[in-house]
Chains A and B, each alone.
Chain A
Amino acid sequence: MYARRLAVCLGTLAALTAAGGAQAEWRDGGEVYDKVCRYCHEANVGPVLKGRALPEEYVRRVVRMGNRAMPAFRPTEIDDATLADVARRINGSEALARE
C-alpha cells in the first residue's frame, strides 16, 4: 500500500530510500477498513458497521461528510474507488462474532 512497495532495501543496515519517493496507495477497501475504520468501529468507539447491510451510498456519504464526532475523510485520504470498495465490503459483511 505504501512507499514501502517501491522502497529499495540496500541491506539490513543501510538506509532505506524509497525510489523516487513512492506514494502511498491503498491495496483495497479491506485495508482501509482494517487500518482506519476498525480502530473505532470494532473498539466500542463508533457503532459496529459489519453485518447490518448498511447501504453503500450511506457509508460513502458518512465517510465524506463525517457524522457528529466521526471525522470526514477527503478523497486525498481515501480515493473514490477505494471508498466504494469499503462501502461494498461493509454492506456485504457478516456480523462480527460475539465474544
Chain B
Amino acid sequence: MADLSIDFAGIRSPNPFWLASAPPANSGEQVMRAFDAGWGGAVWKTLGDPIVNVSSRFGAVDYAGQKVMGFNNIELITDRGLEVNLREIREVKKRYPKHAVIASLMTETKEDWKVLIRRCEDAGVDGLELNFGCPHGMCERGMGSSVGQEPKLLQEITAWTKEFAKTPVLVKLTPNIGDILDPGIAAVKGGADGLSLINTIKSIIGVDLNRLVPEPRVGNASTNGGYCGPAVKPIAMHMVASLARDPEVTIPISGIGGISNWRDAAEFIALGSTSVQVCTAVMHYGFRIVEDMIDGLSNYLDEQGMTSVRQLVGRAIPGFREWGDLDLGYQIVAKIDANKCIGCQLCVAACQDGAHQCIFTGPNDQQRPPHAHYPGTATAPRPQILGTVAGDRVPWVDEPECVGCNLCALVCPVPGCITMQETATETGDTWNRRVQEGRDKIPGGIHE
C-alpha cells in the first residue's frame, strides 16, 4: 500500500487530506472527531477578534436533481473567543500529536499579528495560515481579500508574520483577482513557506423570486458571498496549476476548491498540490467522506505503481502547454457505436445547433451544412447502420466534416456510445512554430 504521508514545508501529516478553515474546523470537538474519521490535518476556523454573524448565512445551487453543486456563505471568521479556541487547540495537539493542526489567522495591525502568532504557537500549532481570502465582511474592514487583492500589501504583511513566526507560514489566496500569479509571487517574495488556494469566489448564489431578495436572506436583504463547492473546482485547479508551473513558486501548495472525493484530490495533487483541503463536501456529507478519499487514493497509487503520494505531486504539469504549443496536426473524429445508441439524437441537436453540422439521421438527411468550406452533400454510409436497440434512429457522422470538437461525445447519455477516434497523430505543427516559420497567415484574413 502506497505511503500517503506528506511533509508540507515541515508540517507533517499522515495523509494529504486536511479540513479547510471553515465550519468543520470550528471547534476541538469537531477536529478530534475528524481525526478519528481519518483526516490528516485541520486548518482551524480563522482566528482573530471574534465577530458577530448574520442569520441565515448559507446558500446553494442545485442542478438537475443534484443538491449543492455550488455553495455560498456570508459567514465571517470565528465567532468564538480566542482563549476558548486556543485551549481546544492545545487539547487537540496533546491528544493527536501526529496530526497537523494549523491556525488560520486574520487581523489588522503588525502588533496584532505578533500577539496572535505568539499565542497560537504557544498553544502548539504546527503552522499558520494567513487568511487573505475572505471576500465579504472582513474585506470592507481592510482584511481578507482586500489584502489578497493587493500584492504589495500582501507581501508586506507576510513579511511581518515571518518576523514573528517560528512555525511555517502558509498564505491563503483569494481567487478574486486578475492573475493569481501576482499575489502568489508576492507571497513567495514575502517569505511564505507555502500557499493555500483558493478561498471563495465573490458571488450572488440566487434570488428568492417570490420576495425578490437575493439569497441567503437576512431579513429583507442580502449581500454578495463566497462561492465554493464542486462548481468551483475547475477554477481552483487552473489557479493551482498556474502557480505550480511558475519557476518562481518554489514552495508547496495546498489545493482547495470543490474537492469532494479521491479523484478530485488526485487531480489537484497531479496539478501540483502537496496537501488538499476540504470544506463544502464535509459540510454536505460529514467527516466520513475521508474514508473513501484515503482508500481510493491509495488504490489509485497502487494501480499506477506509485509507492508514495509524493510521487504524484505535479505529475500532470508537463502535460500542460500554452495554446500556441499545442499540436495543430492532431485529429480525432466522432464514431457512434450503433449497438449502444438509444436514439435520443441529442448528438444531432448538439452538432447541428452547437457545433459543425456533421451528424445526420436517416439516409435522406444529407444536406451539407452551411458551415462547410465547399458546397455539396454529405454521404450517408451504405448500408445505413441500424442499431440493435435504436434501429434507424441511430445517427451517422459525416466524417470528413467532423472537426473533432467532442461536443457529441459530451452530450451523449450512454457511456462509451460515442468515442473520439484518432485519425492523425501528433505532427509537431504548432501555432508558435508557424509564427516562427512565417506560416501563420491563413487565407481569408483581413489583408487580402
Is the A/B pair a real complex?
A: no
A residues bordering B, Cβ < 8 Å? none
B residues bordering A, Cβ < 8 Å? none
